[in-house]
Every structure is written in C-alpha cells, then in structure tokens.
Structure 1
Amino acid sequence: MFKGLGGFGDLSKMMETAQQMQTKMAEMQDGLAKLTVTGESGAGLVKATATAKGELTALDIDPSIFVASEKEVVEDLILAAIKDAQRRATDKAQEEMARLSRELGLPADMKMPF
C-alpha cells in the first residue's frame, strides 16, 4: 500500500547532511574572517594585511620610501601590496573551502554557494 516509503530514510539522511554542511560553512565563514594574510611589494617596503575574506585590516609602509618625487612609485607599491593581499586571501579561502569539501566527502570540483 505505501510501497517506497523506505526512501524517507535516505531523505532524512540527506537533510541531516545538508544541515551539517550548512553549519560547517557558517563555521568556515567565521574562520575566514579571523584568518589573516599579508601581501607585500617593493621587497617588503609595503605590506598589506587582510582577512581571508579579503577585508583589508592593516597597511605597513617603510618610511624610507616617503620621498616627494617618488609619489607615483609609492602609490604603485601600495596598490601592488593590496592586490597581493587580496590574491592571498582568495587563495586561503579556496584552500579552506577545499578542506571543508574533503571533510564533507564532497567532490573536489563542486562549487559552493559563495
């Protein structure tokens, strides 16, 4: 009469797995906000620090580069350091996503919703 109701066990398991994934994703997002990376340019004369979510949190500039005639060079170094920090943040976020995917037993090439 109710043939096929055995599939509800599979549905329940899928829902539980989805909820675990959602919880782990939220934990990972919180973790990314706490992880920091530092990008640099000019052999370390300019350093930019960002969270793994890409939010710039600090900028460190060696005072030796503050020469009025070198304004454009300094601006370029600052932009390069920020871009390096953003690239490192993206790389770190992808590493964390891959780690989470492995922990959840998901395919490595599966795209997550962010």
Structure 2
Amino acid sequence: MEDEYATATAVQSAWADAFEKRDLDRLISLYSPQTAFWGSTNDLHTDPEGVRRYFTNLPPSYKRSLYARPHVLRLNEDVIVASVNVVFIREIDGKDVELPYRMTHVLVRQKGVWKIATHHASPQVA
C-alpha cells in the first residue's frame, strides 16, 4: 500500500502549482468527473465545468497558495482524506495579503490516478 501522506501532498503540490500558474486545464484535470466542490463562494459545483467556472471567476489578484503539513486519513485502499491549513496570497492595493483557510480534499483513486472527489475550503476566523 502506498504512503497516503505522499499521495496527498503530491496532489496538493500539483494543485498549488496549477493554481499559481492559473493553468485551468491542469487544475480541472485534478478533479473527479463527479465532484463536490465548495470554494470561497456559496455555490456547490458538482462537475469539472462548474469547477472551471469557479476558477475562471476567481479574481486574478489571487497569486498563490501555501500549504501546511496535512492531516491525512486513509479510509480504504482507494480513498484518502487530507485536511490542511492553507494561506492564499492575494494582492490588494499593490500589497500581498494573507488569507488563511482550512481545506479538505477527499481523494479517490480512479483507474490508478488520484483525483479530488470533494473539495471544501472555508476561511479561518481570526
């Protein structure tokens, strides 16, 4: 059985890289065809096109994301849950502002490839 921590951090690293580069095709490819995606809006997106709409509408002032070490649980051979603190960096009035979030991904292995089946992000309250 592979290391669930390595699996989760590989997916998170790919996500952060695609997010920073605003590579929507690569970002969307990380998600399962059937997903439950809760981003920073009130809308639930349930397929890759909904996720694409979310990221297309996200202001370009979001520059990058910084992941902490995740807490990882293996539910079975093909399902991993990774919960983590993430800091999003957004440029506002020419200055970088840190926006702390909590993020949980449920990862499922589909045809040998790990995909994000559930994405939930919520701001951390100060």
TM-score by length of 2: 0.27
Q: Which one has the largest radius of gyration? A: 1
TM-score normalised per structure 1: 0.29
Q: Per residue, is there more strand in 1 or in 2?
A: 2
